[in-house]
Amino acid sequence: MDIDGHLFLVDTVAKMHRYLRVSGWFHHEESRLTGIDLKDIDALSADIRTGFDHGGVLPDLGPGKGFSVEILLREDEFPEAGKLVFRTSLDAELTIRLTDLISDRRGRSEGSQTFRHFRDRVTMTPGCRLLDVGGRDRSEVGDRKEFPGARVTVVDVLPGPRVDVVGDAHEMSGLFPADHFDFVHSRSVFEHLLMPWKVALEINKVLKPGGLVFISTHQTIGLHDQPWDFLRFSRDAWPGFFNPATGFEIIAAYEEAPQFIIPWLWSEGKRFAEASVGFEASGVLARKTGVSTLDWPVKTADIIETAYPDVPDGNRS
Domain count, the chain: 2
pTM given for the model: 0.88
Say if residue 128 is in the same domain as residue 100: no
Determine the average pLDDT of the residues in 166-190: 97
Considering the chain, what is the average pLDDT of its residues?
93
Q: Which 8-state DSSP code applies to residue 30?
A: S
CATH code for position 77: 2.60.40
92 and 115 share one domain:
no
Residue pLDDT, tens place only, 80-127: 999 999 999 999 999 999 999 999 998 888 888 999 999 999 999 999
- 46 shares its domain with 115: no
Q: Are 52 and 11 in contact (CB under 8 A)?
A: no
In eight-state DSSP terms, residue 197 is H
Condensed to tens digits (0 to 9), the pLDDT of residues 191-229 reads 999 999 999 999 999 999 999 999 999 999 999 999 999
In whole angstroms, what is the distance from residue 81 CA to residue 102 CA? 13
Looking up residue 140, the CATH number of its domain turns out to be 3.40.50.150
The Cα 261–Cα 241 span in angstroms is 27
pLDDT tens string 75-88:
999 999 999 999 99
CA dihedral sign of residues 51, 52, 56, 62: positive
Number of helices (H), then strands (E), in the chain = 4, 15
Question: How would residue 143 be classed by pLDDT, with cut points 50, 70 and 90?
Answer: low
Structural domain containing residue 293: 110-315
Of 70, 20, 24, the closest CA to residue 46 belongs to 70
